[in-house]
Amino acid sequence: MFDRVGAIFLDRDGVINQNRVDHVKNWDEFEFVPGALESIRGLTETGLPIFVVTNQAIVNRGHITVEALDDIHDRMLREIRRVGGEVTKVFYCPHDNHEHCACRKPEPGMLLQAASEFEIDLTKSYVVGDAWTDVAAAQAVGAQGILVMTGRGRWNFVSCWNRFGLDFSAACDLEDAVMMIKESLRGNLMASTARLRSAFHMALHPETSLVL
Ligand SMILES: [Mg+2]
Ligand SMILES: [Zn+2]
C-alpha cells in the first residue's frame, strides 16, 4: 500500500475571480481577485495537486453553454500557467438546486470524484471557499475547510460560526489561506482560536460597509 496524498481544492467564484451578481458568462466578465494568480503559484510550490471545484447552476438554467464554460476555464488555466501555477483539473456542477444532485456543494460529490480519479486522501486535503457550503463539503469528507473573506465570505462567516463553531478556519483571502495551508503542512495548528477571533473581527468590521 502506498500513502495517498492530500490535495487542495479551490472554489472559483469569490476566491479566484470576483463574484458577479449576474454570474460570469464569458471571459470578458472574468476578473481575477487581486493576488489570486500569485497565490495559486504559491500553492503549486507545495507539490500537492490543485483542483477547482465550482457550482455552476447557470449551465442547467440555460445562461451559459458547457462550451462557453469550458472556454472560460481553459483561459483561466492558461493565465494560471503563465505565472507558474498549475491546476490539475476543474470540476464543475451544472445542476440547479431542485435537481438534488450529489455534486452541488454543500454536497461533497466533486471532492469524492477527484479523490477516486486521482487517488487523493481527502482527510489530508484543504478546501478554500467563500461560502459555508464550501466548508460543509470539506467537513463531509474530513477535509479542512477554509473560509476566505473575499467574495461572499463576510456574509458567510456567521453562518459558518453557527454551523461549525471553532471547527473551521478563516482567512483574509486566498493569499492568507495559502500561508495557513503551508503552515499546516509544516505541522503547525491552523484552526487556532486567535485566527478565528481575528477573522471574526474582520467580518464585523470590514473596510467596506456591509450589514451582516
Ligand atoms: Mg464561491
Ligand atoms: Zn451537481
Residue type, 144: Q
Neighbours of 78 (CB within 10 A): 9
Is-cis flag, bond preceding 49, omega within 30? Answer: no
With a CB cutoff of 8 Å and minimum separation 6, the contacts of 144 are 125, 126, 127, 138, 169, 184, 190, 191
pLDDT the model gives residue 187: 80
CATH class of the domain defined by 8-204: alpha beta
Ligand 1 mean position, distance from CA 5 (Å): 25
Q: How far apart are CA 11 and CA 13, in angstroms?
A: 6
Ligand 2 mean position, distance from CA 153 (Å): 22
pLDDT the model gives residue 211: 32
Per-residue pLDDT 10s for the chain (212 aa) are: 568 999 999 999 999 999 999 999 999 999 999 999 999 999 999 999 999 999 999 999 999 999 999 999 999 999 999 999 999 999 999 999 999 999 999 999 999 999 999 999 999 999 999 999 999 999 999 999 999 999 999 889 989 989 988 788 888 899 999 998 998 898 876 545 556 656 666 666 655 433 33
HSE-CB for 138 with a 13 A CA cutoff: 28
Q: How far apart are CA 210 and CA 155, in angstroms?
A: 8
- Which ligand has an atom closest to residue 33 CA? 1
Q: How far apart are CA 123 and CA 138, in angstroms?
A: 9
pLDDT the model gives residue 198: 60
pLDDT the model gives residue 184: 87
Residue 51 phi, psi dihedral angles, 5° rounding: -125, 145
- Put simply, whether the predicted model's pTM sits higher than 0.85 gets the answer yes
Q: Which of 11, 134, 173, 176 is catalytic?
A: 11
- Which ligand has an atom closest to residue 12 CA? 1
Ligand 2 ion local residues (Cβ < 5 A): 93, 95, 101, 103-104
Ligand 2 mean position, distance from CA 108 (Å): 10
Q: Clarify whether 71 is annotated catalytic.
A: no
Q: Clarify whether 28 is annotated catalytic.
A: no
Ligand 1 mean position, distance from CA 12 (Å): 6
Ligand 2 mean position, distance from CA 2 (Å): 31
- Which ligand has an atom closest to residue 98 CA? 2
Residue 144 phi, psi dihedral angles, 5° rounding: -90, 120
